[in-house]
Every structure is written in structure tokens, then in C-alpha cells.
């Protein structure tokens, strides 16, 4: 079952691409204005949110062009109550370009050979076991499970994967994302869950 906790500390990451680092500074200000306790990651650590998959039990973190070992280490130090496992990601921007949570203990995984390789690494390294749901298109695997509802792309954007979503008994909401996908923006990239 997906676990929720009271947040007492937030970690503002140092994003991997230099042109995006201003986003972190602005986010820190907004979070502090909300009265939240904020830690900030510093050089040389990098960690993009697209590489951080929180399962409710542990963090699976993609080591990619945007996230390094130092970033994974700081995440583990900051949230010591949860296991943190590094997963290798290449040829895709982020871990969540290949997989994301689709329900309690259920991971939606893209259909490419790279997504399958990454899933195999997750199965070997993760501290907990998860059910795998596969969709033919990797971009369809970037979905959001929030408060019992699954947010996913429209049938026009994921024609080969749409049937998988239709068959799920979970409440679902389709979200159109075609324009932001052109600049590598997935549904999880556009969401901050507090």
C-alpha cells in the first residue's frame, strides 16, 4: 500500500542542466513562504525530480545525465527513514521517462528494451517487490497516481498504450501533454505533489 507521511523537511535539488537551476531557487522561496523547512542541495551534487521515483516505501533514483551519485547520496542522507537505490539510466532523459507509479505497489513500465533493462535492475536492487504493468510506448509509462486516481496521456498521444489504461479498474483522468512533450516535459515533470 502506498504510504503517506507528514512532511517535516523538503529537499530542493540542484538540477542537472545549468539552464534550469533558477527553477530550484524560485521553488525554495515558494516553499519557505509556505512555512516549510527546506534543505538545499549544493555543488557538485545534481538530482532531477524526473529521476526520483518514490514508491511510498523507498526511493528509486535514476543515475542519468542529469543526476549523479552525489545527488543520490544527499537524498539518502536527507530522508534516512527510506531506502534509496540508484538505477542506471542511459539513452533517456530520466528514470520516469521509462517508468512511474501506477498504483500502490504497481509500476507502469515502457515497452522499449531499455525500459525492460531498467526494470530488471529495479527488480534486482529494490528493497521491496512491485507489480509491473507494461505499456508499448515509453512516454505512456510517465503517469501520475495521486489519491487513488491515475492521470495519463490521451488516446491521441498514446494510441498503442491506451487500451492498457482503459482496462485498469482505477479511476483515471486523461491529460493532454503534446506540446510540452516536444521539449521532454512529461506529466511527472509538470507536477509538484506536497
**Which of 13, 92, 152, 189 does the annotation list as catalytic?**
189
Q: Which residues pair with 153 in a beta bridge?
A: 175
* Whole-angstrom distance, CA of residue 62 vs CA of residue 95: 5
Per-residue DSSP letters for 81-150? TS-EEEEE--SSS-GGGTEEEEETTEEEEESSHHHHHHHHHHHHH-SS--EEEEESSGGGG--EEETTEE
Based on the residue annotation, tell me whether 5 is a catalytic residue of this protein. no
Determine the Cα–Cα distance for residues 29 and 132; give it in Å rounded to an integer. 38
Q: Is 189 a catalytic residue?
A: yes
Instruction: Spot the catalytic one: 13, 94, 143, 152.
Output: 94
Which uninterrupted H or E stretch holds 176?
none
Catalytic residues, which ones? 94, 189
Amino acid at each position: 500500500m502506498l504510504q503517506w507521511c507528514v512532511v517535516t523537511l523538503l529537499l530542493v535539488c540542484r538540477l542537472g542542466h545549468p539552464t534550469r537551476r533558477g527553477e530550484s531557487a524560485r521553488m525554495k522561496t515558494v516553499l519557505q513562504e509556505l512555512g516549510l523547512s527546506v534543505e538545499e542541495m549544493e555543488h557538485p551534487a545534481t538530482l532531477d525530480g524526473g529521476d526520483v521515483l518514490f514508491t511510498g516505501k523507498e526511493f528509486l533514483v535514476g543515475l542519468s545525465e542529469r543526476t549523479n551519485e552525489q545527488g543520490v547520496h544527499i537524498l539518502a542522507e536527507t530522508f534516512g527513514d527510506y531506502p534509496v537505490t540508484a538505477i542506471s539510466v542511459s539513452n533517456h532523459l530520466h528514470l520516469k521517462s521509462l517508468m512511474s507509479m501506477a498504483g500502490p505497489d504497481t509500476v507502469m513500465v515502457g515497452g522499449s528494451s531499455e525500459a525492460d533493462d531498467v526494470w530488471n535492475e529495479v527488480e534486482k536492487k529494490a528493497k521491496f517487490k512491485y507489480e509491473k504493468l507494461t505499456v508499448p510506448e515509453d512516454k505512456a509509462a510517465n503517469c501520475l497516481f495521486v489519491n487513488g486516481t491515475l492521470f495519463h496521456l490521451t488516446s491521441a498521444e498514446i494510441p498503442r498504450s491506451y487500451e492498457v489504461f482503459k482496462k485498469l479498474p482505477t479511476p483515471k483522468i486523461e491529460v493532454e501533454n503534446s506540446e510540452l512533450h516536444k521539449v521532454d516535459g512529461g506529466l511527472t515533470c509538470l507536477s509538484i505533489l506536497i
